[in-house]
Structure 1
Amino acid sequence: MTLLQDATSPAKAPKRRKLSSELSILGVLVGIALIFEVLGWIFVGSSFLANQQRLSIIILQVSVIGIIAVGMTQVIITSGIDLSAGSVVGLAAMASASLAQSSTDMRAVYPALTDLWPIWPILAGLFVGLLIGTINGLLIAKTNIPPFIATLGTMVAARGLAKWYTNGQPIALLTPEFTWLGRSFNILGFPLPLPVIIFLVVAFLGHIALRYTRYGKFTYAIGANPQAARVSGINIGAHLIKVYIVCGLLSGLAGVVTAARAASAQAAMGTSYELDAIAAAVIGGTSLAGGVGRMTGTVIGTIILGVMMSGFTFLKVGSYYQEVIKGAIIVLAVAVDQYRRSRKTKA
């Protein structure tokens, strides 16, 4: 290149290093927590972050939503949706609790089951999730019914089955061996509930599956460009069935954990949990258009949702207003995602 060319060539602008999506979402979490801290001192006269018990309650409350959100994230990455997750929680909770009642203790009938207790109530809840997830996957993959319609149908059916199973009556008096799943452990002076540990383990396994396995590659490929995925040899139908089975299993697990935490079960358990899980995934950066999403972002998004709801309760904001705000947050998160996608398309 000559000196003249050097003089007339436009100078290359230095590349800006972009923050990862996780760091951006983490920044939002810190900002929201600080806002509630300031508002707490102004309107309530106390600290929001300094209360150790409140922080423990926050992570406990979001653990069940987080377990569902791990499966929901994978479904959304494939450009799908699962509206049945909340109803599966209710049905799985009823199924597992019915086998964990003290009055129907299976050990009295089958003494050989003593060593395996309480594995049977847990397996019952997981089986419910497996069954509904399989039905969802088959409806979507084999009949080409849109995921919204297919899972809407199973949502209504599962909730009806939960009410029919005990004629709408709650189930109580669960055995201590089963309710142990909802207990807390004291780690370094901080109470850490077992449901939180389950959530973190599930999220870690979901992260490994999405990032380092063929399952994850196929999931992203189907969501980004299903036609290209089909041409490249991916069996889209078979993989979608797997994804919805995973989501169903995790919803069933969430139902088991919910029943263990409450030491009881009722058909209304899990109502609107699917919406909270979708909100957590979307806030965490998962695109409803498919092909984009990370499990680390979903974990942070789940915590953000928990901090916000706990913060509004701390500020004594009415529950009705909280629902309105939650809906606005979902719309805002989707709008931001659409804006980012439009900018990438123009670029």
Structure 2
Amino acid sequence: MTISAQIPPRTEFTRRRLGDEAFITLLVVLAAVALFLTASLLVPNFFQLQNMINLVTNNWAVISLGVGVTFLLVSGNFDLSVGGVVALSGVLSVWFAQSAGGANALSTGLGMPYFLAIACALLGAMAIGGLNALFVVRFGVPSIIVTLGTMMVARGIAQVITHGSQRNTNLPEEFGVLGNLYMFGTSVKLPVVLMILLILIAVFIEKKTVFGRKTYWIGANAVAATLSGIDRAKHITYLYLFSSAIAGVVGILLASEFKSGFSNRGMLMEFDALVIALLGGVAIAGGFGSVVGMFFGAIILAVVTSAATGLVLSPDWQFTLKAIAVFLAIVVQTWALARRNR
């Protein structure tokens, strides 16, 4: 069967949907700019070039996770396991790389060469993605339930390996290189560059490839997508493997940056990744949204969090502000689309 037979041609509805998507993305961009200017008026020294850069570079991990989460949301599925996968992959990379003859249990590992250690840690992360796909696709369990469960499984394994603490000794010298490597003599680290490359690749896949179009069709109407010849099971499996691979890389880079494997690393990152996707206009029901919108949703969340810190608000208020921001984003998105389609 040819590609043209597999993918239905763009209808007037499809073209309008993409127009609505661009409209919502523009609203998100304008909201991010407006929030930044408002914060600049309220918080001393907020309007600075370095602060603008920090809003992105300090949130590279959550933005990277948001790419995989966005693709899955667009397909009509959740991935709340990414925070647990971050912890698991980081702990595994440390455990695999630690020398075999340590002074105690937490300093004793498997003694693998470093690059073999991170490759095996990445496979461990992708195993969680495979488990997600198995239960969602094969057994039909709702993705929000499956991924909540695998999040706890991944973090539980990390806690067992670290004995509820962390592993940070008896590591090879090269372990801390990747997470702390500055690029081209600048203050920009390798993880930030990888995040930018990931976003560019994701936007290309989303807008210019058959794979991206399939993702939207599955999210918009899974039954119609299946009847048109799309292998939904295989596609969703690829998306879960993709998301867990990103989370695995993030966990490995964070472990390298801090030279430790910590079972609580990545705590609540899965919810932040979901929040920035929703703030960016990704529809929770699937079939609508973009990686660019998710990125500016991350900027909105970063501005809110940074401004709250600058105003010396307690962490409790920061959580409240996040909740209000998500609620307003969903309400405004619904209202704006209703007004535009009237």
* TM-score after normalising by structure 2: 0.84
Superposition deviation, residue 205 in structure 1 = 1.2
AA aligned to 1:86 is G
CA offsets 1:275-326 (integer angstroms, 9 cap, x no match): 1001111111211111111111112222222222122112211111101111
Residue 92 of structure 1 is aligned with which of 89, 94, 100? 89
The 1-side partners of 2:28 and 2:189 are apart by: 25
The 2-side partners of 1:102 and 1:307 are apart by: 42
The 1-side partners of 2:60 and 2:164 are apart by: 26
Q: How does 1:15-30 map to 2 (within 5 A)?
A: 20-30=23-33
* Structure 1 gap segments, 5+ residues each: 1-16, 41-45
- Equivalent pair of 2:183/2:190 in contact (CA under 8 Å): no
State the SS of the aligned residue for 2:182: strand
- Equivalent pair of 2:24/2:333 in contact (CA under 8 Å): no
Superposition deviation, residue 124 in structure 1 = 2.7
Corresponding residue of 1:33: 36
The 2-side partners of 1:343 and 1:212 are apart by: 29
Call closer, same or farther: CA 1:343–1:137 in 2, change over 3 Å. Answer: farther
Please tell me whether residue 198 in structure 1 is matched to residue 187 in structure 2: no
The 1-side partners of 2:52 and 2:173 are apart by: 26
Q: How does 1:130-279 map to 2 (within 5 A)?
A: 130-173=126-169, 174-183=171-180, 185=182, 191-279=187-275
The 2-side partners of 1:64 and 1:153 are apart by: 22
State the SS of the aligned residue for 2:187: strand
Deviates more, 1:306-315 or 1:225-234: 306-315
The 1-side partners of 2:320 and 2:214 are apart by: 36
Call closer, same or farther: CA 1:303–1:207 in 2, change over 3 Å. Answer: same
Q: Percent same amino acid among aligned pairs?
A: 29
Please tell me whether residue 63 in structure 1 is matched to residue 60 in structure 2: yes
* Structure 2 gap segments, 5+ residues each: 1-18, 103-109
AA aligned to 2:168 is A
Deviates more, 1:192-201 or 1:56-65: 56-65
Call closer, same or farther: CA 1:196–1:328 in 2, change over 3 Å. Answer: same
- Equivalent pair of 2:87/2:262 in contact (CA under 8 Å): yes
Call closer, same or farther: CA 1:75–1:179 in 2, change over 3 Å. Answer: same
Please tell me whether residue 332 in structure 1 is matched to residue 335 in structure 2: no
The 2-side partners of 1:195 and 1:68 are apart by: 12
Deviates more, 1:173-182 or 1:246-255: 173-182
- Equivalent pair of 1:56/1:191 in contact (CA under 8 Å): no
Please tell me whether residue 49 in structure 1 is matched to residue 47 in structure 2: yes
The 1-side partners of 2:337 and 2:138 are apart by: 30
Deviates more, 1:177-186 or 1:86-95: 177-186
Superposition deviation, residue 186 in structure 1 = 6.3
Superposition deviation, residue 169 in structure 1 = 2.5
Call closer, same or farther: CA 1:284–1:255 in 2, change over 3 Å. Answer: same
The 1-side partners of 2:208 and 2:198 are apart by: 15
The 2-side partners of 1:263 and 1:166 are apart by: 14
AA aligned to 2:45 is S
* TM-score after normalising by structure 1: 0.83
State the SS of the aligned residue for 2:166: coil
Residue 288 of structure 1 is aligned with which of 284, 292, 298? 284
Call closer, same or farther: CA 1:268–1:21 in 2, change over 3 Å. Answer: same
Call closer, same or farther: CA 1:285–1:191 in 2, change over 3 Å. Answer: same
Moved over 6 A (4+): 102-105
What is the RMSD computed on CA atoms of the aligned residues?
A: 2.5
The 2-side partners of 1:336 and 1:290 are apart by: 17
AA aligned to 2:37 is L
The 2-side partners of 1:341 and 1:142 are apart by: 35
CA offsets 1:134-163 (integer angstroms, 9 cap, x no match): 110111001010111111111121111111
- Equivalent pair of 1:56/1:192 in contact (CA under 8 Å): no
State the SS of the aligned residue for 1:185: coil
State the SS of the aligned residue for 2:188: strand
Call closer, same or farther: CA 1:338–1:20 in 2, change over 3 Å. Answer: closer
Superposition deviation, residue 171 in structure 1 = 1.2
The 1-side partners of 2:208 and 2:276 are apart by: 23
Call closer, same or farther: CA 1:300–1:100 in 2, change over 3 Å. Answer: farther
Deviates more, 1:92-101 or 1:178-187: 178-187
